[in-house]
Amino acid sequence: MKIWVDADACPVVIKDILFKAAERTKINMTLVANHAMKIPSSRVINFMQVSHGFDVADNEIVARLNSGDLVITSDIPLADEAIEKGATCLSPRGELYTKANIKSRLNMRDFMDTLRSSGVDTGGPPALSNSDRMAFANHLDTILTQYIQKN
């Protein structure tokens, strides 16, 4: 397993949780973004900067991930593609995307995009809450623990 992070929009507090988890478990993690960012000096934490452009980071993650990898993203189309390739996907809010729920999430995302395109102000997502952070940390711990126990 490798952890891939769609790092452009990933909150700092979630990255900090991921850094600690990668170090604790010694599971390789790569953050992918189109702008430079600081990461801790580590043998298991890497950063890949991609060029600017629509979905460049997402496409790089999909091209490099393998079945069984973990993808951290709030991008529904990226999660859909990653699940199709056999990855596990977790949002920074702690929502586990699965084959059972990703298509309905994709449909809702497309619907909201259509509303925004027609001029409806749909607002943005709420601020990341403590319960979101806890849900993320708990799901991450469960996924990593299951992986470690299998290997």
User: How does pLDDT run along the chain (151 residues), one tens digit per residue?
Assistant: 999 999 988 999 999 999 999 999 999 999 999 999 999 999 999 999 999 988 899 999 999 999 999 999 999 999 999 999 999 999 999 999 999 888 878 767 677 677 777 787 767 777 899 999 999 999 999 999 999 999 8
Domains of the chain: 3-150 (3.40.50)
Rounded to two decimals, the pTM is 0.88
Strand partners, 89: 71, 97
